[in-house]
Amino acid sequence: MRRSGPALALGVALLSLLAARPATAGSVVLLRSGELEAYNAAADGFRRAHNGPIVDLLLTATAPGDLEHAIAREHPDCVVAVGLRAALFARDHLPRVPIVYCAVQNPEEHNLASAWITGVRTEVSPEAELAALRRAVPDAKRVGLFFGRVAETRVLERARAAAAQSGIELVEARITDLGDLAHTARDLAPRVDALWMPADPVLATPEAFRFLLELSLRMRRPLFVFSDALVRAGAYAGLEPDFEHAGALAEQAVLRIRAGERAGDIPVAREKEARLVINQSTARAMGRDVPQDLGGRVEVVP
């Protein structure tokens, strides 16, 4: 029997409503690159912000093939990849699965852009780093900047401009190979008031940090770094992004993906909050007092 006009219209409207209603939310895979404090903080921030089931996985705990199959079995709504290695794994092994990366610096250098990828950038600008260095070491007039691959980007130009604007003389030391570090750093240290070690791929190694830390303590030149963990390991001070808040920002992208947006259409977010960390024990060892009126977000560790 043919439906009447009003009945047919009601049926079409009901079908349209059902089609527009989002499907029941599934799980989200939270994949960490490792057990670094920054990764754990970002993961904690995401967990607190997320309302729904989470499958926690650690990249280093499972063979790549087994991990790929484990994620595929979950049929997740998306994968939140914390750290560069997790982001690259998800990109290379999980085609057509929406990916939200977090705690990744300079994602454009690693081809983290596609229709299936968005994320949260967590690098700190050189302007913010230099401003924090001035707060932590207010008497510094000449700052030795070590850099490697960073010279290939606009970061070095911005550091130069920020130094010129703030009245600091930047003494540059380009390190193309770690074998050059010892000679270059020993030559530079006596000529500056502080040492600046940015998050540069050439320099961000345990060997480079250990050498610069020993030189910093011996020469009593404050070493400014890019990580809370390095400050706790003995560096004088550093500026670290708020990784926990970055994790909460990743949840906003997850919500948009679940609402039907394509990951690649969601603009990459940028974590703008950062925390200045100062090592009080290192300050004492150098015969320095931690400045009292630092302002902003500051943590002084024993």
**pTM for this model (two decimals):** 0.74
Is 302 in contact with 147 (CB distance < 8 Å)?
Answer: no
Is 185 in contact with 207 (CB distance < 8 Å)?
Answer: no
CA 240/CA 231 separation, integer angstroms = 10
What is the chain's pLDDT, residue by residue, as a tens digit (302 residues)? 444 443 434 343 333 333 333 334 579 999 999 988 889 999 999 999 999 999 999 999 889 999 999 999 999 999 999 999 999 999 999 989 999 999 998 888 889 999 999 999 998 889 999 999 999 999 999 999 998 865 556 788 899 999 999 999 999 999 888 888 999 999 999 999 999 998 877 787 889 999 999 999 999 999 999 989 899 999 999 999 999 999 999 999 999 999 999 999 999 999 888 999 999 999 999 999 999 888 778 899 99
Strand 274-279 vs strand 142-147: parallel, antiparallel, or unpaired?
A: unpaired
Q: What is the pLDDT of residue 128?
A: 93
Q: What is the pLDDT of residue 296?
A: 76
CA 298/CA 153 separation, integer angstroms = 29
Q: What is the pLDDT of residue 149?
A: 63
CA angle 256/258/261 to nearest 5° reads: 50
Domains in the chain, CATH or no CATH each: 24-123+242-272 (3.40.50.2300), 126-241+276-301 (3.40.50.2300)
CA angle 70/83/114 to nearest 5° reads: 80
Q: What is the pLDDT of residue 155?
A: 80
Q: What is the pLDDT of residue 4?
A: 43
